[in-house]
Amino acid sequence: ILNVEQSPQSLHVQEGDSTNFTCSFPSSNFYALHWYRWETAKSPEALFVMTLNGDEKKKGRISATLNTKEGYSYLYIKGSQPEDSATYLCALMDSNYQLIWGAGTKLIIKP
């Protein structure tokens, strides 16, 4: 059974500070890793889909890196803003193209 772990579970960050958090997964038989942002009272929205070892994706102040050999991905947020407050989910795609979801990192930006 594939297990996707995210850490930390929650994170309080001062507005303007940069932060990062981790998604860990089994390194064998890797297909793809997805990152989603889930704001309160809204639906999850896709941020990145990463497939290659060493991949780095960027969207505005948010970026992600991927290491498939050691089984982890980092999500970075530069200069945190209140609108970044959300739960960030990573999901590993398995051989059946199903997403195995992590429990998420809840990010709270303090003004």
Partner 1 sequence: GAGVSQSPSNKVTEKGKDVELRCDPISGHTALYWYRQSLGQGLEFLIYFQGNSAPDKSGLPSDRFSAERTGGSVSTLTIQRTQQEDSAVYLCASSTGQWVYNEQFFGPGTRLTVL
Q: Which of 11, 13, 32, 108 binds partner 1 (CB under 8 A)?
A: 32
Chain positions 34 to 73 lying near partner 1, rule: CB under 8 A, are 34, 42-46, 49, 51
Q: CB-based burial of residue 109 (10 Å sphere; 0-12 exposed, 13-18 middle, 19+ buried)?
A: buried
The smaller minimum CB distance to partner 1, of residues 89 and 107, is found at 89
Stretch that binds partner 1, among 16-24, 54-62, 69-77, 92-100 (CB under 8 A): 92-100
The smaller minimum CB distance to partner 1, of residues 70 and 95, is found at 95
CB of 80 to partner 1, least distance (A): 22
Instruction: Give the DSSP per-residue string, the chain.
Output: ----EEE-SEEEEETT--EEEEEE---SS--EEEEEEE-TTS--EEEEEE-STT-EEEETTEEEEEETTTTEEEEEESS--GGG-EEEEEEEE-TTS-EEE---EEEEEE-
Please report whether residue 98 would count as binding partner 1 according to CB under 8 A: yes
Name the site residues for partner 1 (rule: CB under 8 A): 31-32, 34, 42-46, 49, 51, 89, 93, 96-99, 101-104
